[in-house]
């Protein structure tokens, strides 16, 4: 089950919300936990047990750390090893076998394991909890129900944001419910739904069509590259918006995950704005423990490259993800060594062009499978191995999708948001009337697309 499905919108969510608000406060965590298990078990019945075992392991290790403080480091290491073992086994075993077969000409059979949905996200949540308990940043959670509710909570189980236990620790005990907060959650959810269905999915059709076109031109390669760049942003930020909106409906305040990354003037800034909760997770639980920038320059550069190698691997068990991560690691090193000073001095539109060029190239690498496809697509962008710069078919696709490109580009910047805020200040009554009408219309259009459209799951479910 996904958020952008009729089953979720018209059956699961309304039923859960009604029950959730009917029951007394002391039972709300139980309802949220049961509904989250149901949500997960529908799509992953076998791996739902795996998630419960992982949560139980983290819960027990937390209690042991609290009781036997002299040995808490051993329990910390044990808990992390168990959590990472599940992640590595299911996500990376076949990748390891493939590379062993390639390097040593081996003939080991692949396990062909299905990747448990959301395992990358809930594993990182459990690791952050156990590390923070070890460091004394949070109190150990003695209620299995509360810890399990935190880890399995369906609004942010599948694709983030990566909510830390410290962020919602108090809200697991007591939450604030007001009609205005609930309506804000509904508003945020509808905006995310529109991003997913009306922008990301439409661009997804164009991306899928790209692979079926026999004669690709330089123009069509660039159309594809820009489409995949916008699709990934609206797909993932749309999910994050829906997750944050659902959190509000249930009384939780989830952290923001995107802050208009495509207006960045450096790659360093881009990664402060893109997938914020993942970036801060790697900073706090990998980069700083390795020494951060408070070590020699060689070790500092090593720390950056380790973080970005792991960032690439976290996204997927394939070489294109590793190359994507190392590309950003290398660019961040170059910026920190001296390029940032140059970028600060040049006109901002030039620095933004540099960032978007890098991001587009990066997402082409990110989206394809195999080194040969990377060479083909990157080469195609610059006319290598392509006979024509433009043809009638590429012009057709450009014109056919021009409106969605314009909408996507504008909506990926704060322009529309700033216009709405100014209009609210100038015409508050009119906007207060028009806003719910517009949101209602957006919801109706989204539902219409769902009724007539095909199944299109979130891209980040693969990771």
Where in the sequence numbering do the catalytic residues fall? 315
DSSP letters of 43-105? H-HHHHHHHHHHHHHHHHHHHHHHH-GGGHHHHHHHHHHHHHHHHHHHHHHHHHHHHHHHHHT
**Whole-angstrom Cα distance, residue 428 to residue 438?**
15
CB within 8 A of 316, min separation 6: which ones? 462, 463
Structure tokens at 372: 């040969």
H or E element in which residue 139 lies: none
CB 9 within 8 A of CB 125: no
Measure Cα distances from 366 to 30, 128, 312, 319, 328 in Å: 39, 26, 9, 9, 11
**Whole-angstrom Cα distance, residue 14 to residue 17?**
5
CB 78 within 8 A of CB 60: no
CB 113 within 8 A of CB 94: yes
Which has the closest alpha carbon to 226: 4, 331, 377? 377
CB 58 within 8 A of CB 83: yes
CB 205 within 8 A of CB 454: no
- Cβ atoms < 10 Å from Cβ of 393: 17
CA count, 13 A, side-chain hemisphere, 283: 10
Which has the closest alpha carbon to 136: 166, 106, 108? 166
- Spell out a b/e string for 133-166, using b for 16 or more CB atoms within 10 Å of the CB, else e: bbeeebebbeeeebbbbbbbbbbbbbbbbbbbbe
Phi, psi of 372 (to 5 degrees): -65, -40
**Pairs from 208-214 (Cβ < 8 Å, separation ≥ 24):** 209/397, 213/393
């Amino acid at each position: 089950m996904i958020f952008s499905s009729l089953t979720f919108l018209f059956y699961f969510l309304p039923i859960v919300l009604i029950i959730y608000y009917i029951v007394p406060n002391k039972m709300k965590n139980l309802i949220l936990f049961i509904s989250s298990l149901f949500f997960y078990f529908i799509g992953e019945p076998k791996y739902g047990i795996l998630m419960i075992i992982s949560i139980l392991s983290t819960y027990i290790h937390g209690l042991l750390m609290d009781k036997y403080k002299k040995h808490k480091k051993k329990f910390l290491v044990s808990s992390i090893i168990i959590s990472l073992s599940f992640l590595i086994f299911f996500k990376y075993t076949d990748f390891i076998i493939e590379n062993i077969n390639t390097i040593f000409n081996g003939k080991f059979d692949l396990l062909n394991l299905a990747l448990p949905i959301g395992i990358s996200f809930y594993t990182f949540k459990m690791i952050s909890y156990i590390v923070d308990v070890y460091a004394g940043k949070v109190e150990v959670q003695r209620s299995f129900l509360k810890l399990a509710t935190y880890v399995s909570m369906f609004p942010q189980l599948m694709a983030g944001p990566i909510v830390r236990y410290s962020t919602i620790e108090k809200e697991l005990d007591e939450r604030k419910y007001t009609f205005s907060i609930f309506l804000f959650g509904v508003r945020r959810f509808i905006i995310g739904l529109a991003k997913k269905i009306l922008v990301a999915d439409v661009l997804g059709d164009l991306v899928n069509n790209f692979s079926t076109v026999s004669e690709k031109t330089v123009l069509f390669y660039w159309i594809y590259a820009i489409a995949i760049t916008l699709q990934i942003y609206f797909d993932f930020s749309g999910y994050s918006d829906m997750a944050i909106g659902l959190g509000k409906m249930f009384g939780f305040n989830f952290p923001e995950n995107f802050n208009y990354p495509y207006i960045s003037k450096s790659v360093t800034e881009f990664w402060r704005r893109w997938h914020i909760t993942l970036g801060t997770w790697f900073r706090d639980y990998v980069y700083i423990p390795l020494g951060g920038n408070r070590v020699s320059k060689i070790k500092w550069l090593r720390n950056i490259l380790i973080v970005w190698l792991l960032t690439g691997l976290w996204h997927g068990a394939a070489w294109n993800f590793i190359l994507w991560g190392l590309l950003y690691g290398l660019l961040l090193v170059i910026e920190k060594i001296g390029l940032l000073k140059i970028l600060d001095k040049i006109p901002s539109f030039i620095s933004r062009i540099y960032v978007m060029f890098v991001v587009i190239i990066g997402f082409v690498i990110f989206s394809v499978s195999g080194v040969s496809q990377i060479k083909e697509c990157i080469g195609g962008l610059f006319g290598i191995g392509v006979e024509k710069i433009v043809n009638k078919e590429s012009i057709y696709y450009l014109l056919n999708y021009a409106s969605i490109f314009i909408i996507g580009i504008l909506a990926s910047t704060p322009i529309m948001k700033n216009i709405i805020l100014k209009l609210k200040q100038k015409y508050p009554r009119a906007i207060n009337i028009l806003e719910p009408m517009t949101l209602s219309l957006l919801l109706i259009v989204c539902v219409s697309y769902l009724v007539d459209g095909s199944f299109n799951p979130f891209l980040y479910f693969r990771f």
